[in-house]
Structure 1
Amino acid sequence: MKITKKEVTRLAANLLKEDKAYKDITSNYFIDNKQQAKATIFSNESIIVAGIDFVIELFKRNCKNIKILSKLKDGSKIKKKENILIIQGNGRKILSAERAALNLLQHLSGISTLTGKLCEKIKKKKLTILDTRKTTPGLRKFEKYAVSIGGAKNHRLDLSESYMLKDNHLILNNKIYEKIAKMNNKQKKRLILECDNLIQVKKAIDLNVKYILLDNMNIKNIKKAKKIIGKKAKIEVSGGINLKNITKISSVDIDFISIGAITHSAPAANISLDIQKI
């Protein structure tokens, strides 16, 4: 997932505006506006770091003369008490941007860390972990970026990237299968058909669908679906997959596992900032 400079700048501005960093009445009243400081951001647990350059942009936007003394790269696997970023600049400005910076770094590093743990579980398998569109409003590209840093791949970014038929589409149109049959080869290559049961799986194969998503199926039905599909279509499995059951699910010969939890439920990484007076 590529993030443009413009997108990073806009995010930094929005986060600072949300916290009203420019109106930090505490720092503005109690801290001298010429006081210089050194701030060290470090982890309190083992994590995969994601979002460092975004955080630097945030500090730079709030403190124009900020100096970067040291930094890690995104994707760095670090242990407890290891430093992530050390900066130097106006103490008042660093403090006013602290919370916004830590919130972002903790959130994205939490996503990359959980993703990394899931990928480790299936590293010997020839399948790919995917994220979903179950993301925080306004942060989708950044969360998907963190997923890629953790070692997984990105599913479709938005509704324009591919056709994806789900149960609610079937409820609203009882002629969905007829419409699939009328799709040309180019359209079918962009079609993902969600199947909740084996009857739907058989219908998908009859319609020559090349990408089938098995949604919320138990392991028994996933195995049955695999027998029906064989090598006729790519298979994605989704629904309730986590660190406890991913190994079992991956024992079936499938192509993809999609997990909404890596973006919507990843615990924030435990990251802190220490500051020193200069």
Structure 2
Amino acid sequence: MSNTPFKLAGFDIETFVRDTLAEDLGPTGRDVTSESVIPADARFSGTMDSRDAIVVAGLPIAEAFFRFLDPDIELELLVQDGDFVTPGTDLMRLKGKARALLTAERSALNTVQHLSGIATMTRAYVDAIKGTGCILLDTRKTIPGLRVLEKYATRTGGGTNHRMGLWDAAMIKDNHVAVAGGVAEAVRRAKSAGIAEVILEVDHLDQIEPGLAAGATHLLLDNMDPDMLRSAVALVAGRVPTEASGGVTLDTIRAKAETGVTYISVGRLTQSAPAADVGLDFTPLD
């Protein structure tokens, strides 16, 4: 895997590849189908291609799966993560040990399909707000264990990452407010604890001034229609960034972006993006 220089902060590619393959190979560590059907010395050539128009993401990780099982593989990436490709575009060519390629195939494809699906949906949302000056954010609605990869995919699609977890900013939501006794007290407690970035979720205009007075540094405007968003943006008057959130779709995002909000966050980017249709066909080599 030393031939795969893919680096991503907070992500250990070798551990990911090893654990993913171990899950597939189970307690015996064997691909019983390939071992029983394919001769040990057989070799394959293969081509990974897209059957849809997609934004590609995850190819270096797919490469790592194949190199892990066949260090001598001949492998060429034909496009790069972030490229938009049309249906029928070849993404990767590879040539190596048949058993190794078949064993790695599903893990490699699953990764590329999932991450490319996220990147593709993200690009559609980015395109929908083009020219408004609004920035698209992802959320923490990610599959457990895959957050770093899924947030990489949203960046690959042109989006911007929101906070990575519970550690890098305070986000005060309705349940926090209910326990604290109000938005001002909730924000005050967070600021008193020394937290620099305090994001406050508000769903009523009358929560804005108390939240700002207490020291909120970012307002999340929850489930507001465009008219209410415009009113909120006017009240904030540029004092802190504003973020529209909740129920945002491709049909509604443009109108929300045109209200002047700084950001729009969309949970469905990582929560429910459909997998891209990517395939891999092998040909035996003599």
Aligned length: 277
Deviations 1:177-207 (A, max 9, x none): 2353466599464110011211222322333
Superposition deviation, residue 24 in structure 1: 1.3
Contact 1:188 1:210 in 2 (8 A): no
1:14 matched residue in structure 2: 19
Deviates more, 1:228-237 or 1:265-274: 228-237
Contact 2:203 2:222 in 1 (8 A): yes
Superposition deviation, residue 53 in structure 1: 0.6
1:26 matched residue in structure 2: 33
User: Distance between the aligned counterparts of 2:95 and 2:202, measured in 1?
Assistant: 54
User: Distance between the aligned counterparts of 2:9 and 2:226, measured in 1?
Assistant: 41
Q: 1:4 to 1:32 in 2, by over 3 A?
A: farther
Q: Does 1:56 align with 2:63?
A: yes
Contact 1:122 1:247 in 2 (8 A): yes
User: Distance between the aligned counterparts of 1:169 and 1:193, measured in 2?
Assistant: 10
**TM-score (norm: length of structure 1):** 0.93
Aligned alpha-carbon RMSD (Å): 2.0
Instruction: Determine which of 64, 71, 78 is the counterpart of 2:78.
Output: 71
Superposition deviation, residue 227 in structure 1: 2.0
Q: Does 1:250 align with 2:257?
A: yes
User: Distance between the aligned counterparts of 1:124 and 1:186, measured in 2?
Assistant: 39
Q: 1:6 to 1:183 in 2, by over 3 A?
A: closer
Contact 1:188 1:209 in 2 (8 A): no
Q: 1:179 to 1:241 in 2, by over 3 A?
A: closer
Q: Percent identity of the aligned residues? A: 33
Contact 1:196 1:214 in 2 (8 A): yes
Matching of residues 74-85 of structure 1 within 5 Å: 74-85=81-92
2:173 matched residue in structure 1: 166
User: Distance between the aligned counterparts of 2:146 and 2:189, measured in 1?
Assistant: 37
1:39 matched residue in structure 2: 46
Q: 1:5 to 1:61 in 2, by over 3 A?
A: farther
**TM-score (norm: length of structure 2):** 0.91
User: Distance between the aligned counterparts of 2:146 and 2:237, measured in 1?
Assistant: 37
User: Distance between the aligned counterparts of 1:216 and 1:183, measured in 2?
Assistant: 24
Instruction: Determine which of 182, 204, 211 is the counterpart of 1:204.
Output: 211
Q: Does 1:132 align with 2:139?
A: yes
Deviations 1:1-29 (A, max 9, x none): x6159611111112111111841111110
Amino acid at match of 2:8: I
Contact 1:192 1:211 in 2 (8 A): yes
2:159 matched residue in structure 1: 152
Superposition deviation, residue 127 in structure 1: 1.6
User: Distance between the aligned counterparts of 1:170 and 1:260, measured in 2?
Assistant: 22
Q: 1:5 to 1:251 in 2, by over 3 A?
A: closer
1:119 matched residue in structure 2: 126
